[in-house]
Structure 1
């Protein structure tokens, strides 16, 4: 089943401490952004990518797309000051009816099997999100004092992609704008309208490149991918 991707890429990356957009940082021999885009570039079911970027970075990003042969980015949309505004701009720019995946540009290790599950689940139910179950003991401590230990079997760490039927996402985005509501992710906007959002099991490798430590872990994952591919080629 075909899908399109809306990818907010207009962040500042302050937690990375790079002094510039972290998506331009090199992971192996390519920028983080290119690694992420290549996942979808290499998936036949992905028919289009809308990339929300800062106006002042458009020429640099377009040059990178050309250099690395990324052809599925059809539009560079003006990104907003918040992730939600960038995604809203992508929604406004899109007039098709395919399933929409919203994905963090700094998550280059999402697996295509997870993407496929997200798309099929969203097509059937309206909304689905990638996540992994919490592994550590979890405490509820709103004031820094433990109130209770929470059953971790009921807790999920949510990632992207998050997949939606376009009309569900558009309605949630428009309602949030009308209400002046700012959410932490697209699922939150859909949830507040009462739509059930189903979780699809993802992998713990699907990390977001947020800090320098994440880059170190990313290099390890990249090395593992290369070694796995070499073994496959030998078979």
Structure 2
């Protein structure tokens, strides 16, 4: 089943404190962005990649694409001030319909079986997100005081990719822009548009490179995967 993946890559990544786009930082000699792009480059189901970028960073990203031997990038639209703006730019640049995935460019450890289950679920239901069950006890807190303990069995930590039938996400995106609504992820826009969103079980390794600690853990994950392929 073919899909097109869209990646907002125009963020600042201030929590990483690297003084540059965190996607340009390296893990085992390869940029975070290069690792993430390679996941989809090597997936036979992936028909294309659309990256939203800052114009000032376009030459660097084009060099990463070239150095990582990525051939599936179809467009590099200009990203916006917010993630939602960047995803909207990717959607407007896509002309082929079908199934689209939105994925954080800073999540290089997504597993291919999860990607495929998301694409299949989106084709069947219209919208699907990757997620894992919350491990910790969660509480509602106001002004430093616990109000209630949440039912952990119903809580999921939502990741990306998030998968949709193209026309459904495009309509939800345009509706949000018209109404000046800013959501935290694409599933929020779909939910707001009245679409049922299904959850596909992911892995806890599918972390987002956000802090220096994540980089250290990412190095461990790369080492572990290399050892597994050699066994």
Q: State TM-score, norm by structure 2.
A: 0.99
- Please give the alpha-carbon distance, in whole angstroms, between the structure 1 residues aligned to 2:168 and 2:31: 33
- Please give the alpha-carbon distance, in whole angstroms, between the structure 1 residues aligned to 2:27 and 2:78: 25
- Please give the alpha-carbon distance, in whole angstroms, between the structure 2 residues aligned to 1:48 and 1:140: 41
The 5-angstrom pairing of residues 35-114 of structure 1 reads 35-114=35-114
Q: Does 1:220 align with 2:220?
A: yes
Match of 1:134 in 2: 134
Deviation at 1:26, TM superposition (A): 0.4
- Please give the alpha-carbon distance, in whole angstroms, between the structure 1 residues aligned to 2:138 and 2:64: 42
Q: Which deviations, in whole Å up to 9, do the C-alpha atoms of 1:155-211 show, x marking residues without a partner?
A: 000000000000110010000000000000000000001110000000000000000
Match of 1:175 in 2: 175
Deviation at 1:114, TM superposition (A): 0.2
Unaligned runs of 5+ in 1: none
Match of 2:158 in 1: 158
- Please give the alpha-carbon distance, in whole angstroms, between the structure 1 residues aligned to 2:188 and 2:3: 21
Deviation at 1:68, TM superposition (A): 1.4
Deviation at 1:124, TM superposition (A): 0.2
- Please give the alpha-carbon distance, in whole angstroms, between the structure 1 residues aligned to 2:120 and 2:142: 37
- Please give the alpha-carbon distance, in whole angstroms, between the structure 2 residues aligned to 1:155 and 1:142: 19
Deviation at 1:143, TM superposition (A): 2.5
The number of aligned residues is 231
8 Å CA contact retained: 2:38, 2:68: no
Match of 2:10 in 1: 10
Q: Which deviations, in whole Å up to 9, do the C-alpha atoms of 1:35-73 show, x marking residues without a partner?
A: 001100000000100000000111111111111101111
- Please give the alpha-carbon distance, in whole angstroms, between the structure 2 residues aligned to 1:139 and 1:125: 31
8 Å CA contact retained: 2:129, 2:160: yes
Deviation at 1:74, TM superposition (A): 1.4
- Please give the alpha-carbon distance, in whole angstroms, between the structure 1 residues aligned to 2:54 and 2:142: 36
- Please give the alpha-carbon distance, in whole angstroms, between the structure 2 residues aligned to 1:166 and 1:142: 39
Match of 1:188 in 2: 188
Match of 2:211 in 1: 211
Deviation at 1:85, TM superposition (A): 0.1
63-72 or 203-212: bigger deviation: 63-72
The structure 1 segments of at least 4 consecutive aligned residues displaced by more than 3 Å after TM superposition are none
Deviation at 1:144, TM superposition (A): 2.0
SS of the aligned residue for 1:78 comes to coil
Match of 1:148 in 2: 148
